[in-house]
């Protein structure tokens, strides 16, 4: 699904360019107009995929908004939805993490891996698998710490 939103780009107090969307909370920054435009596109992609993943509504876009910070308008368009979220099957996640499929199911239930349903299948987000790999948890049960 194509999402098109208007941002205001203005210079922040620290000299960075800030891109703030008119129709949502949040935003991003960059050192140059090109960088802030790329960052705004990445931010919008992530925001729209997050909304799709969690079945949150997409804000109605507005245009020709009044500039709040004396900046300039930037129109950003991204193709984002459940179909653009990097994903894998639970079996693939298990292989990638070096775990059993049953352990992956436990991690999903415990909220340690993120899943979503698309076209009748359940998928594990690649981002949650990558985050788990980055944590590099040690094998076995955690040790009990001494109580003071």
Domain boundaries, the chain: 2-82, 86-135
Pick from 69, 84, 72: which is nearest to 3 by CA?
Answer: 84
In this prediction, residue 119 carries a pLDDT of 87
Report which of 25, 48, 38, 45 is spatially closest to residue 74, judged by C-alpha positions.
38
User: From start to end of 38-108, where are the E strands?
Assistant: 72-79, 87-88
2-82 against 86-135: fold identical: no
86-135 folds as Multidrug-efflux Transporter Regulator; Chain: A; Domain 2 (1.10.1660)
Question: Can you give the pLDDT at residue 118?
Answer: 92
For residue 130, the model assigns a pLDDT of: 96
* Six token digits for residue 67: 């500039």
pLDDT exceeds cutoff 60 at 18: yes
- Average pLDDT across the chain, whole number: 93
In this prediction the pTM is 0.82
pLDDT of residue 136: 72
pLDDT over threshold 90, residue 139: no
Percent of the chain exceeding pLDDT 90 equals: 90
Domain 2-82 is found in CATH 3.30.470.20: no
- Residue 148 is predicted with a pLDDT of 55
Model confidence over 32-88: pLDDT tens digits? 999 999 999 999 999 999 999 999 999 999 999 999 999 999 999 999 999 999 999
Give the integer Cα–Cα distance in Å for 32 and 36. 6
Give 81's contacts (C-beta < 8 A, 6+ positions apart). Answer: 1, 48, 49, 52
């Amino acid at each position: 699904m194509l999402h098109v939103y208007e941002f205001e780009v203005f210079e922040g107090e620290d000299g960075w360019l800030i891109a703030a969307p008119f129709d949502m909370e949040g935003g991003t920054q960059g050192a140059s107009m090109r960088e802030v435009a790329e960052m705004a596109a990445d931010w919008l992609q992530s925001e729209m995929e997050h909304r799709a993943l969690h079945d949150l509504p997409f804000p109605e876009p507005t245009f020709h908004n009044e500039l709040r910070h004396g900046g300039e308008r930037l129109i950003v368009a991204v193709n984002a939805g459940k179909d653009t979220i990097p994903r894998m099957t639970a079996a693939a996640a298990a292989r990638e993490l070096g775990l059993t499929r049953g352990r992956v199911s436990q991690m999903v239930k415990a909220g340690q891996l993120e899943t979503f349903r698309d076209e009748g299948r359940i998928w594990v987000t690649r981002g949650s698998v990558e985050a788990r790999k980055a944590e590099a948890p040690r094998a076995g049960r955690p040790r009990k710490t001494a109580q003071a």
